[in-house]
Amino acid sequence: MDTITKSENKVNNRKTISITGAEAMVKCLLAEGVDLIYGYPGGAIMPVYDEFYKYEKELHHVLTRHEQGAIHAAQGYARVSNKVGVAVATSGPGATNLITGIADAQIDSTPLVCITGQVGSHLLGSDAFQETDIISISTPVTKWNYQITKASEIPEVMAKAFYIARSGRPGPVLIDITKDAQFGQVDYFYEKCEEIRSYKPVPQIEPDKIAEAAELINKAKKPFIVWGQGLTLGKAEDEFKDFIEKAGIPSASTLLGLSALASDHPLHMGMVGMHGNYAPNKLTNECDVLIAIGMRFDDRVTGKLDTYAAQAKIVHFEIDPAEVDKNVKTDVAVMGDVKETLAAILPLINKKDHKEWLQEFRDLYDIEYKEVIDAQINTRTNGLTMAETIVALNKVTGGEAVIVSDVGQHQMVASRYSNFKHKRSKVTSGGLGTMGFALPAAIGAKMGAPEREVVAIIGDGGFQMNIQELGTVMQSKVPVKIIVLNNQFLGMVRQWQELFFDGRYASTTMTNPDFVMVAQGYGIKSKKVSERKDLAEAIEEMVASKESYFLEVAVEMEENVFPMIPTGSSVSDIRLK
């Protein structure tokens, strides 16, 4: 769709059309296969928005209620769709409101292209109205950024932006475009970027490292695998399943790795980390070979570093050289695309079962079940618990749903107790721990996978950080399901205050509005449950709804999440109570 008179030229034997920079921006998005974007208009990006209006049949724009909502929605979309998410904002506060989501995407390796408007190039550096140096601000939290000041730059810069965002270890890219570049003319020709000199996103596989890793794994008596989101980003779920089934190795997931392997797989031992499962945390310090696949040894996984798997040889499958030896010293680093490296090592792996070693995991799980799980989901006599709510949800969804969680106690409970049958079924804020993430991310996730049930699990604190995105649910009519677990506290902070600050609840008590009335004000069907006898029916009604649905579950106010590894402690010191 061409909206202005164009002259055709030939540059280097390429057919070009003369259009405005703003239209060129839209054409670049379409050339990259983008059909859905999230954003909020303003003066400095208005020419691009005028083109969105003209191209609305080809490019669907979702108006969020805040720029942070836009970028979290783009993250949720990217995480479930395996596409690059796109967020658009104006200059100044519009651009700075994207920063939290950009930082979140950077640390969680989410591919995004963020487009921000900017004042005219002649005003740069003059403190003009709504001018902010977003390039300097975003540099630490982007994979790449660039400021466009001439319309002629747009096609090449946008091609690079999408290539960098999706290649290798993915991440967010920010493109800032001045207003005069949007109005200017460009002889438009688009060519997708396939490589950039000096940028090598995927390390070359070294066969000798594959052989060394295979030898260590084959000789191991107590091998243990910890996998992360790298499996999902590398689309290596099938190769991973083949690998662990041949090797017979017990395996556990990081928070972001969840759903890469079905929850009920016999070699899935649960989740590692501060609130992970007892067995995989405890036995990390008893394995003889630790195989880390697509994970970065985050401090929430390792606990006290000098005691983490100190007895084990470490094999690290990784695509980003910066992560190797950063936190944990590696004995063998297997660099490359994990889909390719797992396929390469599979023929060298001996088939084993490790029955006695696996039994150690099962024995410790039995202890966790008796001390923690059973008490959380089966033998409660007081109020509703977060865990029994998630278990009730599992019974209705059958593990088929995409679960999007915010940050806090409910995040850990949703991660521990949700069942997943399919890949790309768990979306949460991992490394940055961004409260307010879940509601907009669930909107994006549902749009990225419209055929799937998407349920947002949110605490009462995080819900109110982006509660305005109920307006986006209303206007877009996206049929996302929302469960708020309301304990009237900032629950995770309160738990730490109880355990480590002598019960001094400093600024963690929440006086909340009537959430049901708020949701109803946005035209969303809503219900509140406070008694156990009503829970199952309410969840069934929510899941059966063809439209969006809000369910508030009043849970115990001072419920704690266990197991727990206290900050600064070894993974061996994991507490059950």
Token pair recorded at residue 3: 């909206």
DSSP 207: H
Please confirm, yes or no, whether 492 is among the known catalytic residues. Answer: yes
- Of 143, 179, 313, 481, which one is the catalytic site residue? 179
Catalytic residue among 295, 492, 542, 564: 492
Distance from C-alpha of 318 to C-alpha of 335, rounded to nearest angstrom: 5
The one catalytic residue in 1, 10, 15, 129 is: 129
Residue 370 known to be catalytic: no
C-beta pairs of 312-316 under 8 Å, 24+ apart in sequence: 312/224, 312/287, 312/288, 313/216, 313/220, 313/288, 313/289, 314/289, 314/290, 315/213, 315/216, 315/217, 315/289, 315/290, 315/291, 316/292
Which one of 6, 46, 83, 130 is the catalytic residue? Answer: 130
Asked about 130 being catalytic, the answer comes back as yes
Are 445 and 76 in contact by the 8 Å Cβ rule? The answer is yes
DSSP 322-343: GGTTSSS--SEEEES-HHHHHH
Asked about 129 being catalytic, the answer comes back as yes
Selecting among 67, 153, 368, 552, the annotated active-site residue is 67
SS3 288: coil
CA nearest to 86, candidates 118, 53, 110? 110
Report DSSP letters for 122-178, one per residue: GGTTTT-TT---HHHHHGGG-SEEEEE-SGGGHHHHHHHHHHHHHSSS--EEEEEEE
User: DSSP E strands: which ranges in 347-477?
Assistant: 402-405, 426-428, 454-459
- CA gap 245, 342 in Å, rounded: 13
**Which residue, chain included where needed, has tokens 């904002």?**
89
Give the pairing type, strands 268-271 and 525-529: unpaired
Instruction: Assess contact for 186 and 16: CB atoms under 8 A.
Output: no
Is 194 a catalytic site residue? no
Catalytic residues: 67, 129-130, 179, 492
